[in-house]
Structure 1
Amino acid sequence: MALPLAAPAQIVDENGDVPTLAPLVQRVSPAVVNIATSGTVETESNPLLNDPFFRRFFDVPDEPRQREVQSLGSGVVVDAEAGYVLTNHHVIAQADEITVAFNDGREISAEIVGSDPETDIAVLQVDSDTLTALPLADSDELRVGDYTMAIGNPFGLDHTVTTGVVSGLDRTLPGNNGARLQSFIQTDASINPGNSGGALVNLNGELVGINTAILSRSGGNIGIGFAVPMNMARQVMDQIIEYGEVQRGVLGVRVQDLTAEIAEAFDIERNDGALIAQVTPNSPAAEAGLEAGDIVTAVNGTAIADASAMANAIGLLKIGDEVDITFVRNGESQTATATVADPAVGQVDADALHPALAGATFSELDERSPLFGKVEGVLVTDVSQGSRAAEYLQSGDVITSVNRQTVESMEDFRARTEDTERLLLNIRRDNGAFFVLVR
C-alpha cells in the first residue's frame, strides 16, 4: 500500500506568508542598469608587417589597424538628480559609445565623467529627470555572515538576482583587471562576468558594494565573487566628480607585510602592521621623519593590519591631504604627520635632458610603480604619442642604467645623459628587461 506524500514543509510568518525577497528586488531594480558599450582598439601586428618592402615582396594585403569591440556590463544609479551611475572601469575602458538601459525599457546615451583603473571604478552620467538611486551604505559596518543580494546583467540577460552571505572582508585578488588598490568584499552570491559594475545590496536595500570580479580557473562562476566596498567606491567617485579623475598623491614609502619571522627578527611581539622597507629621499615620508624599519600600525586613527591596508589607506587620499601615521620604532609607539605630495612635482621633461628622449617625462621611482623597492632607477611617468621617445619607451618603464652606468636617482639620470651623443638604456618593463640604443 502506497503511503500518501507528506505535505511540503513551509516557513511562514504569523500572517501565513512565505518569506520572499521579491519586494526588495522590486524596490532596488530600477536603480540597476544594463550597460552596453562599443569602441575600437588598435590591433597588434608583427613589426615586419609594418615594413613596406616586406609587404610588397610577400604580397601581404592591407589589414585594418583597428577592430571594433563590444561589451556588456552593469551599473548602479547613485545620484538621481545629477544622473550619476557607478560601474567598473574595465566595463567602459575601450568605449566610444555607451548606452544605459533601464528596467522600464528606456535606453539613454551616457558620458564618462571619469574612471580609475587602480580601483576598477568608473562614473558615468545620463541625462534624465526620472531616475531612481540606491541609498549608499557604510560598508565598514558589514560583517562576515551578513546577507547580501547581487543584481546585474549577466550575459546580456535582463535583471538577474542572486543571494548569499558575506564570506570574507578585505580580500585581495591578484590580476583583477589591473586594479592595484584592493580591499574586496567576498560573497557567495553568484557574480557572473556580465554582473561587473552591478549592485551588491544588503537586506535594507542599501548599496554596500560594486560587483567586480569572480574567482575562476575556467571563466565560469564557482561561487566566489568580489565587490568593491562602497566606502572605497564613494571616495573614488567623489574625486572623479570633483576633478574628473582621482588625484592620487604619493607618500614615498615601500611597505611589506610584517610576518611572524620578521617580527621575531625585529624583537617585537606583534605581527600586525606594515613594515617600511624603503623611504624615498626628499619625499613626504622622509620629511615626516619616517625610516626604514618603522612599523606602521595606524593611518588617521584606522588600524593597519598589513601592507595592502597601508596601500589602500594612502592610495585613497588626495594630493595635499595631511595624514597622521602611527608607527612603532625600537618598541615605542610614535606619531608623525605627513602631507601627501603631488607626484607631478619633481617630474623632469626630457627636453631638458637629451634630444633622443624628447616626448617623455621622468621622475624619481616611487610607490606608483610595482617595481618600487625591487630595482633602482627613474620612472617614465608619461610619453607623448608620436614622439621620439614613444618609439622605445612606455609610461611605467623604469630606466636602470645609461651607457652601462647604474641610475639610482634623477640626479644620476641627469649626469648620465649630459654631454653624450648616444644613449644605451637598460629598461625594465613589467617582468622583463632589455637594452635600447638611441642617438
Structure 2
Amino acid sequence: MTLRRILFALAVLSVGVLVGFPAIRLLQADPETPSTGPRTPAAPAAVETVQIGADGPPPADPIDVPDLVDLSNQRVIVAREVDRAVVYVEVELGTGYARVQTEAGSGIIISPAGYVLTNAHVVARATEATVILPSEKREYRAEVVGTDPTTDIAVLRLFEVGVAEDEPLPVASLGDSDELQVGETVLAVGSPFRLRNSFTSGIVSALGRGGLNAIQNEFAIEDFIQTDAAINPGNSGGALVNLRGQVVGVVTANASETGFAEGYGFAVPINLARVVAESLIRYGEVRRGYLGVEVFPMSRADAREAGMPDVRGVLVTRVVSGGPAARAGLQPGDVLLEVGGRAVDEPNQFQSRLAMYSPGQEIDLAVWRGGAERSLEATLTDPRDPSLEDWFASTPAAGGPATGPQEEEVSRTEAPDWGVRFRDLARDERRRFEEGAFVESIEPGSAAELDGLPRGTVVVAVENQRVSTAEEARIALARLARMDRPALLRVRRPDGRTAFYDLASPFVD
C-alpha cells in the first residue's frame, strides 16, 4: 500500500509539472532578452483624424415630453369641433349613362350663409350636388358657385339655409398656412371610400411641394402642403387641420401607384384657397393679377454668375415688354427674391404668392441685381391688358409654345413622321438647359401626341444619343422612322426635372 501511494504521488507531481510549465513559461521574461527597466511602447502608426458629428450644443433645446393622455385629449377636442364643419359631398354626373351615376368627395363649410369649399375636380362633371352634414344628419341640395381649375378649388352654395328654423350652420375656423412648419402634427378629415367624416393623423412632411402634375391645367398652381396622414379617394375637398382646430389646407391629392394612401398626401394651403373662394363668391370667377414675367429655378451656377453669397430666389428669364414687371423696372437676369415680403425660392412658390393678389393691387418686389438687393413696386394687371396679349398667345393654353424667343432668331425644323416641330434653344434657355431641341408644337393625332410628349419641354437625347440642336433631333427621329423603330426620348421639363417618353413607331397601327 505504501509503495502504491508513493507511485501515485509521483505520477500526480509529474503531470503538474508538465501542465504548469507552459503557463509559467509564458509569464516569465525571455531569458535571451533580460529586462533592463520599464519598456517603452512602440509609437502608433500615423492616422488621419476625422471629426464625427457636429461640435457645439444640440440643435434644439431640450423640451418636456408632452403627456400622451393630454395629446390624445387634444386630438379628441379638435376632432369633435372640426367634425361638425366638414361635410360629405355627392354629385350626380351628366346624362349619357344607363342609370344615375354618382361620385363623392368632401367639403368644408366656410360661411354661415351656406358656402362650402371643396375641390374643382370633385364637382367638375356634376349636374346636381347634395351636401350632407354627417354629425348633424342634415342634408342640403347645392349649386356650384364657381371653380378655379388652376388651383383645383371650387365653392358650393347650399340651398334653403335657415329655412324651417334650422340651427345656424357650423363654420370651420381657418388658420394661417404661412405659419405651418415641417414636423407639425396635423389631422386629415374627410369621407374616403364614402366613409363619412373619417379622421387620420400625421405630420407636415414638406411645404411648397410642386411639380407633381396633380392639377391637370396648363396654368396649374401647385404649392402643396405634403403630409403623411392617410389620404384616399373621397378625401378630396376635406380639411387638413392643426392641433388648434384650425383648417390649414384643403386636401386635394395623393401620390400613389395604386391610388390609395401610401403616405404622400397633398393639400392646397388655406391662405391660397381662401383668396380663391372669396373671388369665386364675389365674382363667380377668379380675378387674378398678372406681373408679366417668366422665371426658372436658381442653380449654383446662376448664383455665382449673379455674385450672390447663397442660392435663393428665382431667375427672371423673360419680362413682357410694356407689362407690369417692365414698368416696375424688372429686367431679364434679375433674381426675384421676395414677392409681397415673402421669400420665393421656386417657380411654384412665385406662382402661389402672386396668386394671392388681384388686378390693380400693388406689390413689393425684392430683387438681386448688380451684386446688391433692390426694392421695386409693381401694379398688377389682368389678362385683358393689351401688353399681355402676345404673352398669352405664346402659352400652351392658347395653342402656342410654352415659351419662346421674342427677338432672337433661332432655327426651326420638323419631324413630320412623328408630328413634332422643334426649334433651337434661345439664349436664356441655353443658360438653363445648355443644349437640346425645344418642343415647339405637337400635331394633333400624331405619334408624339398619342404617347404624351408635351410642348414646352426640351429633348436632350434620342435613344441615349445626345441632342444639341433641333436639326440633330430631326435627323435622329427620321433615322428611327426609316427603320420603323420606336423612339425613347429623354427630355427636360420647364421645372428642370428629367422625364422619359417612349414614342411608338409612327407606322404602327
What TM-score, normalized to structure 2?
0.61
What residue in structure 2 maps to residue 312 of structure 1? 352
Q: Distance in 2 between matches of 1:273 and 1:336?
A: 15
Q: How many residues align?
A: 340
1:325 is aligned to: 365
1:364 and 2:391 aligned = yes
Give a deviation string over 1:83-111, Cα, whole Å, max 9, x none: 11100011011111111011132221111
The structure whose RCO (Cα within 8 Å, separation 6+) is larger is 1
Give deviations 1:151-207, integer Å, cap 9, x for gaps: 101111222111111111111142113252122111111111110000111122111
Does 368-377 or 123-132 show the bigger shift? 368-377
Residues 134-165 of structure 1 deviation map (CA, whole Å, 9 limit, x = unaligned): 11111111112221111101111222111111
Secondary structure of the equivalent of 2:263?
Answer: coil
1:35 aligns to 2:89 (yes or no): yes
1:259 to 291, 299, 315: 299
Counterparts of 1:120 and 1:280 in 2: how far apart (Å)? 27
Taking the TM superposition and a 5 Å limit, the aligned residue runs for 1:344-363 are 344-346=384-386, 363=390
Distance 1:141 1:364, change over 3 A: closer
Q: Residue 431 of structure 1: CA displacement?
A: 2.2
Give the one of 343, 352, 377 matched to 1:303.
343
Q: CA RMSD in A?
A: 3.0
Aligned with 2:314 (options 252, 262, 274): 274
- Larger Rg: 1 or 2? 2
Shift of 1:270: 2.4
1:124, 1:317 → 2: CA distance? Answer: 22
**Which position in structure 2 is the counterpart of 1:351?**
none
Taking a change above 3 Å as real, the CA distance of residues 146 and 366 of structure 1, as seen in their structure-2 partners, is farther
Contact 2:293–2:325 (Cα < 8 Å) also in 1: yes
The alignment status of 1:142 with 2:174, answered yes or no, reads no
Contact 1:40 1:66 in 2 (8 A): no
Q: Bigger shift: 204-213 or 179-188? A: 179-188
1:79 pairs, out of 111, 114, 135, with: 111
Q: In structure 1, what is the Cα distance between the partners aligned to 2:188 and 2:295?
A: 34
- Residue 223 of structure 2: aligned partner: 183
Give the AA of the match of 1:197. G
CA–CA distance in 2 between the matches of 1:101 and 1:374?
45
* Residues 1:143 and 1:234: Cα distance change in structure 2 (over 3 Å): same
Residue aligning to 1:431: 454
Q: Are the equivalent residues in 1 in contact too, given 2:188–2:238 (CA < 8 A)?
A: yes
Question: What pairs with 1:44-63 in structure 2 (closer than 5 Å)?
Answer: none
Q: Give the TM-score, by structure 1 length.
A: 0.71
Q: Name the one with the larger strand percent.
A: 1
Matching of residues 40-439 of structure 1 within 5 Å = 40=94, 70-80=102-112, 82-103=113-134, 104-127=136-159, 128-129=161-162, 130=167, 131-178=169-216, 180-346=220-386, 363-365=390-392, 369=396, 374-375=403-404, 431=454
Q: Which amino acid aligns with 1:211?
A: V
Moved more, 104-113 or 66-75: 66-75
Q: Which amino acid aligns with 1:113?
A: V
Q: Give the fraction of aligned pairs with identical amino acids, expressed as a percent.
A: 38
Letter matched to residue 149 of structure 2: P
The residue type equivalent to 2:127 in the other structure is: D
Q: 1:91 to 1:363 in 2, by over 3 A?
A: same
Residues 57-80 of structure 1: per-residue CA shift (max 9 Å, x gap) = xxxxxxx69997531100011112
Match of 2:75 among 12, 15, 21: 21
2: CA distance between counterparts of 1:23 and 1:143? 22
1:73 partner amino acid: G
Structure 1 portions without partners, runs of 5+: 1-10, 42-63, 349-361, 378-399, 402-425, 434-439
Structure 1: distance between partners of 2:225 and 2:124: 23
